[in-house]
């Protein structure tokens, strides 16, 4: 494993590890968004998603099945992004803020795709 690959994966994974641990420890705010989306068991779904993010982020950082870990993170990012940052429903400054977060998540998904494609 090259040092650059390790540093790149660790930098990318840091966001998932931190966010995943936060969702596991205090899921209430995120669970409200899941509930508004009409999904069942919002707190449990939030914690499962957080666990996937934290575990996959650690695995990707350490080079343990990094491609599989990146795929798991990609799968968790799609609902996280759509449910968590619905800028299309908002207006004004709030819309702009959520659009920025949505775009950040899309950029992170691009980084995950690079990990998946790395041989």
Please give the pLDDT value at position 28. 95
Residues of the chain predicted below pLDDT 70: 1
Please give the pLDDT value at position 1. 62
Q: How many domains does the chain have?
A: 1
Q: What is the pTM of this model?
A: 0.91
SS (H, E, C) 31-99: HHHHHHCCCCCHHHHHHHHHHHHHHHHHHHHHCCCHHHHHHHHHHHHHHHHHHHCCHHHCCHHHHHHHH
Token pair recorded at residue 32: 């409200």
Please give the pLDDT value at position 34. 96
The length of the chain is: 119
Q: Domain containing 95: what range?
A: 3-117
- List, in sequence order, the alpha helices (H) in 1-41: 3-25, 28-36
Please give the pLDDT value at position 119. 81
For residue 119, the SS3 value is coil
């Amino acid at each position: 494993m090259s040092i650059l690959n390790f540093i790149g994966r660790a930098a990318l994974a840091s966001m998932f590890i931190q966010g995943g641990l936060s969702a596991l420890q205090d899921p209430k705010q995120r669970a409200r968004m899941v509930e508004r989306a009409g999904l069942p068991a919002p707190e449990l779904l939030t914690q499962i998603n957080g666990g996937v993010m934290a575990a996959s982020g650690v695995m990707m950082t350490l080079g343990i099945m990094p491609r599989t870990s990146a795929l798991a993170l990609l799968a968790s990012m799609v609902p996280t992004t759509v449910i968590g940052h619905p800028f299309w429903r908002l207006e004004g400054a709030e819309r702009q803020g959520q659009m920025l977060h949505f775009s950040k998540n899309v950029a992170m998904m691009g980084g995950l795709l690079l990990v998946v494609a790395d041989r």
